[in-house]
């Protein structure tokens, strides 16, 4: 399988990967724009735009869009994240032209009808209310709001009821005009597709996309702050998220951070799962993660447990962080590499997953990254680099703690922060 790329005269990038053994194709449009590209008065508009794209165009009603793709057994959907938005479809190979036509239609001819907009606002309000009823979602929103306080990066993608209700079609078009331009868009297809034929389809149907923004795109630089947010609720379980500033996609330590997260809490064999859940039985769920953004990142540990376990749980987690800065066995690194490699290869067996991989690589690096190159990067990560990173990541920067649920037994933030100081800092504090 070979990835082929063509940059059209308009500036739009078209990428394909043909999988000859498949009878279906996954295709979509990925835009290098998300909630971080909103102004103060646009909080939630990127997500609303994604919804409104399916609510009718100059040629199709909302029902037409749904029926035409499902008449051929296909599916179409979209997603909004912090820095990207995607619109994608999965169809049989003979229906690729239809999918291209529908995706182009919703991205170039959306009507933004007033009545449809008012209905969709109510749908999103229900989505916001549903999210607030899910503590495991709320704990992540509160974390971001605290770690990146008063910044677009820290705001929930869904917006607030007040901002969502305030949006008008002209505001949506203003956001669209700033961000949905050919230099920020990538059309990707994987599976039963032929590159030159697909390029011709895209060139014809996406010809009306603007090549220049109507105003300069918005992107506020991230400033990690750290802090403490607790939301006591009468729940059966407590959700705890302890995190630190991670590494940006292009940072030297990005892949090192991915490996470290895997060693600490990437699976049932990881340190945190074994020590906290299996040996001590202190929680029913625990894992570590590392999310990269264009200019920063988040390294976090999430745990869900009964409130009575918090006095023991948090010190054990912090103890494992200290241990990771002191020693990591090479077997753990080899295991983490194997897990990442298997994820890459398994992703290639799904055209939808593969399309997402290729799109992310194009947006981040401007080119597809082969599995061989990816594994070479991972092979260069040594145990010394990992322990050095752990020492800097966990003990040289301010932590962020987000917690929701029965929290009366959770230690004060001052105590948690003190236990996360480096051995040198602890020595200085003890001598005072």
What three-state secondary structure class fits 165?
Answer: helix
Residue 389 is given by DSSP the state H
Dihedral sign, Cα of residue 363, residue 365, residue 370, residue 374: negative
Listed in sequence order, the residues at least 6 apart from 375 whose beta carbon sits closer than 8 Å to its beta carbon are 337, 341
| Contact present, 38 and 46 (Cβ < 8 Å) | yes
Listed in sequence order, the residues at least 6 apart from 51 whose beta carbon sits closer than 8 Å to its beta carbon are 78, 120, 123, 124
Active site residue 67: no
Q: Residue 357 is inside which H or E element, if any?
A: helix 351-365
Listed in sequence order, the residues at least 6 apart from 391 whose beta carbon sits closer than 8 Å to its beta carbon are 325, 422
Tell me the residue length of the chain: 432
What three-state secondary structure class fits 304?
Answer: strand
R_g (Cα) of the chain, nearest Å: 23
Residue whose tokens read 């020492």: 391
- In 3D space, the residue among 423, 426, 400 whose CA is nearest the CA of residue 413 turns out to be 400
CA distance 53 to 21: 33
| Contact present, 159 and 47 (Cβ < 8 Å) | yes
**DSSP letters for 415-430:** HHHHHTS-HHHHHHHH
Copy the structure tokens of residue 242.
Answer: 């302890």
Catalytic residue (choose from 50, 120, 145, 320): 50
What three-state secondary structure class fits 173?
Answer: helix
User: Which positions are annotated as active-site residues?
Assistant: 50
């Amino acid at each position: 399988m070979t990835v082929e790329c063509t940059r059209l005269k308009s500036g739009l990038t078209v990428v394909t990967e043909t999988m000859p053994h498949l009878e279906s194709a996954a295709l979509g449009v990925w835009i290098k724009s998300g909630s971080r590209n909103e102004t103060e008065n646009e909080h939630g508009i990127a997500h609303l735009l994604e919804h409104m794209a399916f609510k009718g165009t100059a040629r199709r009603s909302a029902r037409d869009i749904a029926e035409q793709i499902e008449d051929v057994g296909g599916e179409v959907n979209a997603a909004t994240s912090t820095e990207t938005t995607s619109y994608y479809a999965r169809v049989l190979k003979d229906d690729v032209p239809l999918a291209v036509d529908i995706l182009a239609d919703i991205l170039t001819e959306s009507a933004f009808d007033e009545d449809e907009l008012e209905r969709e606002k109510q749908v999103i309000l229900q989505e916001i209310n549903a999210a607030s009823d899910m503590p495991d979602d709320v704990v992540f929103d509160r974390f971001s709001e605290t770690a990146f306080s008063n910044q677009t990066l820290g705001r929930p993608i869904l917006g607030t009821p007040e901002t969502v209700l305030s949006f008008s079609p002209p505001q949506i078009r203003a956001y669209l005009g700033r961000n949905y331009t050919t230099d920020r868009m990538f059309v990707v297809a994987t599976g039963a597709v032929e590159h030159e034929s697909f390029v011709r389809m895209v060139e014809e149907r996406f010809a009306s996309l603007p090549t220049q923004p109507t105003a300069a795109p918005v992107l506020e630089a991230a400033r990690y702050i750290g802090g403490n947010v607790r939301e006591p609720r009468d729940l059966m379980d407590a959700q705890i998220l302890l995190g630190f500033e991670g590494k940006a996609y292009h940072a030297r330590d990005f892949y090192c951070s991915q490996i470290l997260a895997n060693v600490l809490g990437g699976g049932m064999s990881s340190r945190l799962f074994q020590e906290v859940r299996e040996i001590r039985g202190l929680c029913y769920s625990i894992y570590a993660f590392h999310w990269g953004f264009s200019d920063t990142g988040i390294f976090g540990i999430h745990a869900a447990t009964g409130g009575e376990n918090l006095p023991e749980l948090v010190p054990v987690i912090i103890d494992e962080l200290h241990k990771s800065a002191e020693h990591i066995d090479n077997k753990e690194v080899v295991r983490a590499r194997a897990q990442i490699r298997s994820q890459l290869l398994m992703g290639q067996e799904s055209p939808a997953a593969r399309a997402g991989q290729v799109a992310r690589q194009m947006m981040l690096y401007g080119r597809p990254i082969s599995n061989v190159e990816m594994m070479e990067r991972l092979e260069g990560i040594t145990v010394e680099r990992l322990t050095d990173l752990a020492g800097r990541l966990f003990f040289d920067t301010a932590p962020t703690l987000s917690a929701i649920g029965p929290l009366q037994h959770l230690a004060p933030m001052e105590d948690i922060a003190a236990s996360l100081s480096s051995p040198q800092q602890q020595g200085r504090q003890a001598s005072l």
